[in-house]
Amino acid sequence: MQLDVTTGRYQVLSTGSGPTNCAYSDVPLTSLNDCFSSYTFTNNALIAAPPHYALSWPLDNLFASDMKSVGFVLSDVRGRENYRLRSGSPFKNMGTDGKDLGADIVGLNCALKGVE
């Protein structure tokens, strides 16, 4: 599964320990390489990452300047937030499986139908 991630002001934070902590650099790629012996971090939509930060993340990820540029539906007829992608979203069908990024909410709702 790929995720839609808002990068926020601080990309990767350390819990302390100063320079000996693997995430001390606050550079996502460096922290991932230093903290994990093996990982996969691809085909994610990273939202609100300043343009110059793109190179500080692992390759093969997607970037959006803000939530609006992602192309979320954002609200349905009942006024609830809806994070499905509109048909014109630049992230539509960009998952490694050719589907939308993020959770398959329609599939999840179908799987949970009748569950109480």
User: DSSP label at 46?
Assistant: E
pTM of the complete model: 0.68
Is there a contact between 23 and 36 (Cβ–Cβ < 8 Å)?
Answer: no
pLDDT for 1 equals 46
pLDDT for 2 equals 47
pLDDT for 92 equals 92
Using CA atoms, how far apart are residues 71 and 95, in angstroms rounded to an integer?
15
User: DSSP label at 29?
Assistant: H
pLDDT for 93 equals 92
pLDDT for 17 equals 75
Using CA atoms, how far apart are residues 41 and 21, in angstroms rounded to an integer?
21
pLDDT for 75 equals 64
Using CA atoms, how far apart are residues 114 and 63, in angstroms rounded to an integer?
37
Each domain of the chain, given as residue ranges in start order, spans 4-112
Is there a contact between 22 and 34 (Cβ–Cβ < 8 Å)?
Answer: yes
Using CA atoms, how far apart are residues 50 and 77, in angstroms rounded to an integer?
33
> CA-CA distances (angstroms) from residue 40 to 48, 55, 58?
21, 16, 9
* Spans of the chain below 50 pLDDT: 1-4
> Letter for the amino acid at 96?
T
